[in-house]
Structure 1
């Protein structure tokens, strides 16, 4: 598991960009008290998803409003058609960790 961010640095309904140990950036969301981690790069526009916003369980791209379900990475509306990677998350002692080696979906992903 890779340390991402202190839990209190991610407000409810928000997304934060984390670049752990020089690895590819990860978007960390808090929705209804649960943390989710996805790739930060939109599979359509290649924009930073952490510069977008959260609506329900959708992470919304700031460029063309593509939306992805943070629970499994599936695209929720056009123009996004390819899923994004999602990662298993654990919170330990107020710190968010993710297994960045394992994607939560079996689908092929872009990016």
Structure 2
């Protein structure tokens, strides 16, 4: 399946597939203001991706945890199902479940 997307602003890092055999695409943090966000332990924030997706009827997008972010940084994705009727910019709901603050920078996966 071909998944269509549009950038919501200039200079947005596009979703990529690191390897041809990967099951999913990597999304990147693309804040409009270019600023990093620091999540305190127990903190939650919504992260801008800079993309709108054209999701076919009968399908949805699901944002999943990256193994490195989950195991090394204690960062977990919250509920993140994007329905075909949603036509706004996609945000990722990220939780810091660890004991140390974590900073997310422009271009982080």
Shorter chain as denominator, the TM-score bin is 0.3 to 0.5
Indicate the structure whose relative CO is greater, using CA pairs within 8 Å and at least 6 residues apart.
Answer: 2
The structure in which a higher percent of residues are strand is 1
TM-score (norm 2): 0.32
